[in-house]
């Protein structure tokens, strides 16, 4: 993966979300948060994730959508089931992916983290190509943000326990973190 100036990933399809802002001054980026998302829940494909991150989700399209269509959320990156990498927020900016969150005593994880969404669900296995793309983009992020180490990669469930469960038990942490050691 190649990064361009401003925190854009050259190999990603750019689909910039309005749901972002500046990071606080002097706040180093030193955390990577892994999430999952599927819209409607446990269904894959379509433009619903993009529509949510771009504030254009039609509440009439699914019974689940009225409960989330007004949310202003985003993630830096999404890795689709087929391995497509989509960027919604430049890495240098603050995406709105973590919500109320705490990591090692620091709250507001959006301030100092990068969020990667995997198109998936807690209890459905992720695809091989998703792991390959996740490895590549993680190594790229770690090369740019040297304070992000494997010990500073976490799940949404770990920074928002009791509120979030993703990436869930189907996510193979040993496979993913082990793949970073072979770089």
Helix (H, G, I), strand (E, B) or coil at 49: helix
Cα gap 47→56, rounded to integer Å:
10
The active-site residue, picked from 50, 117, 119, 151, is: 117
Instruction: Give the C-alpha separation, 110 to 172, whole Å.
Output: 24
Cβ(16)–Cβ(100) below 8 Å: no
Told to judge if 119 belongs to the known catalytic residues of this protein, a careful annotator would answer no
Q: What whole-number distance in Å separates Cα of residue 52 and Cα of residue 60?
A: 13
The Cα–Cα gap between 183 and 171 comes to: 20
Contact 24, 160 (CB under 8 A): no
**Alpha carbon distance 24, 73 (integer Å):** 18
Residues annotated as catalytic (active site), given as ranges: 117
């Amino acid at each position: 993966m190649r990064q361009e100036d401003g925190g854009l990933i050259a190999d990603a399809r750019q689909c910039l979300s309005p749901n972002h802002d500046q990071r606080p001054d002097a706040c180093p980026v030193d955390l990577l948060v892994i999430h999952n998302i599927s819209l409607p829940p446990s269904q894959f494909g379509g433009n619903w994730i993009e529509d949510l991150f771009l504030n254009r989700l039609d509440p009439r399209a699914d019974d689940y959508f009225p409960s989330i269509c007004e949310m202003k959320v985003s993630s830096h990156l999404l890795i689709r089931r087929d391995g497509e990498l989509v960027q919604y927020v430049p890495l240098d900016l603050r995406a709105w992916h973590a919500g109320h969150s705490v990591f090692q005593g620091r709250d507001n994880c959006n301030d100092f983290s990068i969020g990667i969404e995997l198109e998936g669900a807690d209890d459905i296995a992720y695809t091989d190509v998703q792991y390959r793309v996740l490895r590549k983009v993680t190594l790229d992020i770690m090369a740019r943000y040297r304070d992000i180490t494997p010990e500073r990669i976490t799940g949404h469930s770990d920074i928002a326990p009791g509120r979030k469960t993703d990436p869930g038990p189907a996510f193979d942490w040993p496979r993913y973190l082990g793949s970073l050691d072979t770089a």
